[in-house]
Amino acid sequence: MTAVTPPTPGAAAAAPEPVTPAAVRAVTTATPEPVRAKAPDTAGPFKVGASRPAERPARALRPAVLGLPLRPRLVVMCVITALAAFGVFCLGLALGDYPVPLADVVPALWRSGARGTVFIVHEVRLPRALTGVLVGAAFAASGAVLQAITRNPLASPDMVGINAGATTAVVAGIVLGFGDTLGTPTLGLAGGLLGALAVYLLAWRRGSTGFRIVLVGIGVSWMCTSATDYLLTRAKMHQAQEAVGWLVGNLNGRGWEAVRPLGIAVAVLLPAALLLAGWNRNLQLGDDVARGLGTPVQLARGLLLLVSVALVSFATAAAGPVLFVSLAAPQIAQRLARLSAPPVLLSALTGTLLVSGSDLLARHLLPDVDLPVGVVTGAIGAGFLLRLLIRSNRAGSGG
């Protein structure tokens, strides 16, 4: 029984973990466990011998497919969302001042077709559309990871100061003039990490989850916003214009220089988030249970936080803080899939659909006005946030 099996990569972290207080298990989104005598169970007292697996062949509950548990609903939702997102993506490439027939859009992606069409699709519209796809996926996946670890839907990056930190750093780069040397992605990452570090040190070090993080995060968010405002008052006219155009979350005029770093970041970080999802699922059971299941708790939480912060920072650097995507998309995905925590891949696809769709709306809702995509996602997301707040207050966990 004690044969030593070689550890798998997941076991790589055998490092001793410091003891975390039991308070870690505190949840704020869930209502407290009722500590009362219960009514008789519907199933009645169970007799072990009567239902032994040997006597009653085990029903197929969740078959394994390609090393993954089969979840038909999740798969179907992913396919539907991906198709819808692809449809909106193609529409975005087709519509505009020079409409391109939908049938010509896909070939033009591979540079086949009339030269004018290829130019419009590939050079003019594709970078903006791709930025939208990547930004949506990055914001949403980041939110899914963070909401899952904190077990709180409100603890998404745009609520807790990570977005705001990245924004302040990028605006500082523009206004103080060091933005060109360091590059927007680096600045965004540095700012996002600093914002996250502030929240971590002020609220999370002792492992508290939920509302404490949200409250401290909102505080950090406001501090960053004030700093951004102050920087704007110090800015020269052209700097302020550049900063403001970017502050609301904007895909306007994004070229390949924005797509490349973000594309690489998403290509690395999204698979990382998917691979870490198993650890995240265990963390949601509380630190003691997770550790008992073989999860290196501190390492797992650290890596998950890092992935989440990096995703949101790169996305913010590329398109500005596109509000509410990281809050709303994972929640929508979680409801679509009917799971207990936001699924990463479906969240990313939902985020893509949300941002691409919002950008399409922003471009065509008011012709002649260049509406930033952040205004549209903000309007959609604000309603969603209100709904969430009302719901969580009704559940008695509003504070």
Partner 1 sequence: MTAIRAEGLTLAYDDRTVVSDLDLQIPPGRVTVVVGANACGKSTLLRALARLMRPVHGAVLLDGRAIHSLPTRQVARQVGILPQAPVAPEGISVLDLVGRGRSPHQTWWRQWSTADEQAVAAALAATGMTDLAHRPVDELSGGQRQRAWIAMAVAQQTPVLLLDEPTTYLDLAHQVDVLDLVTDLNRRDGRTVVMVLHDLNQACRYADHLVVMRDGRIAAEGDPAAVVTAELVTEVFGLDCRVVPDPVTATPMVIPLSRHHPARAVTA
Ligand X SMILES: Nc1ncnc2c1ncn2[C@@H]1O[C@H](COP(=O)(O)OP(=O)(O)O)[C@@H](O)[C@H]1O
Site stretch for partner 1 (CB under 8 A), options 137-145, 167-175, 276-284, 360-368 = 276-284
For 65, the 3-state DSSP assignment is: strand
| H-run or E-run covering 68 | strand 68-69
Report if residue 292 touches partner 1, rule: CB under 8 A: yes
Site stretch for partner 1 (CB under 8 A), options 4-12, 181-189, 312-320, 365-373 = 4-12
The distance of closest approach from Cβ of residue 13 to ligand X in the complex, given in angstroms and rounded to an integer, is 22
Site stretch for partner 1 (CB under 8 A), options 180-188, 224-232, 238-246, 279-287 = 279-287
CB-CB neighbours of 395 under 10 Å = 11
Closer residue to ligand X (CB): 17 or 242? 17
Report if residue 41 touches partner 1, rule: CB under 8 A: yes
Q: Give residue 386's Cα distance to chain centre.
A: 19
The distance of closest approach from Cβ of residue 213 to partner 1 in the complex, given in angstroms and rounded to an integer, is 16
Report if residue 298 touches partner 1, rule: CB under 8 A: no
- The Cα–Cα gap between 168 and 246 comes to 11
The distance of closest approach from Cβ of residue 336 to partner 1 in the complex, given in angstroms and rounded to an integer, is 13
The distance of closest approach from Cβ of residue 23 to ligand X in the complex, given in angstroms and rounded to an integer, is 7
- CA Rg value for the chain: 23
The distance of closest approach from Cβ of residue 177 to partner 1 in the complex, given in angstroms and rounded to an integer, is 45
Closer residue to ligand X (CB): 248 or 290? 290
Report if residue 291 touches partner 1, rule: CB under 8 A: yes
Report if residue 289 touches ligand X, rule: CB under 6 A: no
- The Cα–Cα gap between 166 and 225 comes to 10
Site stretch for partner 1 (CB under 8 A), options 46-54, 186-194, 352-360, 363-371 = 46-54
Closer residue to partner 1 (CB): 164 or 329? 329
- The Cα–Cα gap between 39 and 191 comes to 53
Q: Which residues contact 280 (CB under 8 A, 6 or more apart)?
A: 145, 148, 149, 300, 304, 341
Q: Which residues, listed in sequence order, are joined to residue 68 by a DSSP beta bridge? A: 65
The distance of closest approach from Cβ of residue 205 to partner 1 in the complex, given in angstroms and rounded to an integer, is 14
The distance of closest approach from Cβ of residue 20 to ligand X in the complex, given in angstroms and rounded to an integer, is 8
Closer residue to ligand X (CB): 24 or 170? 24
CB 96 within 8 A of CB 125: yes
Interface of this chain with ligand X, residues 17 to 76, rule: CB under 6 A = 21-22
- The Cα–Cα gap between 314 and 389 comes to 28
Interface of this chain with partner 1, residues 142 to 161, rule: CB under 8 A = 151
Q: Find the binder of partner 1 among 268, 293, 386, 390 (CB under 8 A).
A: 293
Alpha helices in 151-210 (DSSP H): 162-176, 179-182, 184-199
CB 294 within 8 A of CB 13: no
Q: Exposed (0-12), middle (13-18) or buried (19+): which is 219, by Cβ within 10 Å? A: middle
Report if residue 115 touches partner 1, rule: CB under 8 A: no
Q: What is the DSSP letter of 74?
A: H
Site string for partner 1, 317-346 (x = CB under 8 A): ----------------------xxx-----
- The Cα–Cα gap between 234 and 216 comes to 27
CB 380 within 8 A of CB 328: yes
Q: Which does 122 bind (CB under 5 to 8 A by kind): partner 1, ligand X, none?
A: none
Q: Which does 228 bind (CB under 5 to 8 A by kind): ligand X, partner 1, none?
A: none
CB 308 within 8 A of CB 316: no
Report if residue 177 touches ligand X, rule: CB under 6 A: no
Got the DSSP string for 369-387?
S---HHHHHHHHHHHHHHH
Q: What are phi and psi of 265, to 5 degrees?
A: -60, -45
Interface of this chain with partner 1, residues 360 to 389, rule: CB under 8 A = none
Q: Exposed (0-12), middle (13-18) or buried (19+): which is 9, by Cβ within 10 Å? A: exposed
The distance of closest approach from Cβ of residue 340 to partner 1 in the complex, given in angstroms and rounded to an integer, is 4
Q: Which positions touch partner 1 (CB under 8 A)?
A: 1-2, 4-5, 7-11, 13-14, 16-19, 21, 25, 27, 29-30, 33-43, 45-49, 51-53, 56, 58-64, 67-69, 151, 275, 278, 281-282, 284-286, 288-289, 291-296, 339-341
Q: Which positions touch ligand X (CB under 6 A)?
A: 21-22
